[in-house]
Structure 1
Amino acid sequence: MAVLNPGLNIAIKVPAYKWDETVAFYRDRVGLRIQRDLGETIFFDFGEVNLALDRVETQSQVDVWLELTTDDLDDALASLGSPIRDGLEPLEGIDAHWTCDPAGTVLLVRKST
C-alpha cells in the first residue's frame, strides 16, 4: 500500500471580490511574510509549508486545495478511491494527479522526489 504524506503546499482559491481583503488579512492581521508575489498568486511563509492565495475571477466562494506526496502514485490514487480531476489546472513537469476527498476538497497527489 502506498504511503501518503502531507505536501508542502496549501492553496486558498479566493474570489476576486474578496482578494484585497484576504491578502491584507494574512499579511497584516496574521502577520505572515510574503515569500513571492506573482500578481494573481501570492505565496506566504506558513511554518514548514507554503500558503498560496490564488485570485480566481470566476470563483464565488473560497476553496482550500491541499497537497499530498506518495512513493507510489497509482497505488495511492487507488487507495483513495477518488476520481482523477486533472482538468482543474494544468500539471506540467510534475508526476501528479488532481483528485478530491468525499467533501470535494481538491487534493494534488504528487510523486515523492
Structure 2
Amino acid sequence: MEIKAGKNIAIKVPHYKWTETVAYYRDKVGLPVKKELKASVGFIFGEMTLWIDRVEQQSQVDVWLELFTDDPDQALKHLGSPQRDELEPLDDVNGHWTSDPAGVVLLVRNE
C-alpha cells in the first residue's frame, strides 16, 4: 500500500476573514484562479489546487490536506489515525477523513 500527496490543499477560513484572504492569494501572491464556487475559491498552486473555503461557524483557520492511496481503509489502519467522516460529506469519494497527531485534517482517498 502506497500513500502519496493528493492534488488539493484547503484552508478553512472564518466568514469574517474570507474575502480578505481570497484577495491576498489572488492580488498579492498572484495565484491564478482555477475555479470559483459560492463559498470556495480554488487557486492554481503548482501541481495542486489551493482552496480557500469560507466556513460560517468557525473562529480560527484550519489547513486540510489530501492524501491518495489505493486502499483508504488499510491506509487509515496503517496511519493509526481516528476516522472523522463526520467532518464533511464525502459523497462519491472512496475515502475517509482523519487527522494527524497535531490535529491537521487529512482526506485519505482513492485518486
**Correspondence 1:48-87 to 2 at 5 A:** 48-87=47-86
Report the CA distance between 1:94 and its aligned residue. 1.3
Report the CA distance between 1:74 and its aligned residue. 1.8
Under a length normalisation based on structure 2, what TM-score does the superposition of the two structures give? Answer: 0.97
Identity %: 62
Under a length normalisation based on structure 1, what TM-score does the superposition of the two structures give? Answer: 0.95
Paired residues, number? 111
What one-letter code is carried by the residue in structure 2 that aligns with 1:92? D
The yes-or-no answer on 1:106 pairing with 2:110 is no
Residue 34 (structure 1) aligns with: 33
Report the CA distance between 1:71 and its aligned residue. 1.5
Alpha-carbon RMSD across the aligned residues, in angstroms, is 0.7
**Correspondence 1:10-21 to 2 at 5 A:** 10-21=9-20
Gaps of 5+ in 1: none
Moved beyond 2 Å, runs of 4+: none
Gaps of 5+ in 2: none
- Give the Cα separation in 2 of the matches to 1:107 and 1:33: 25
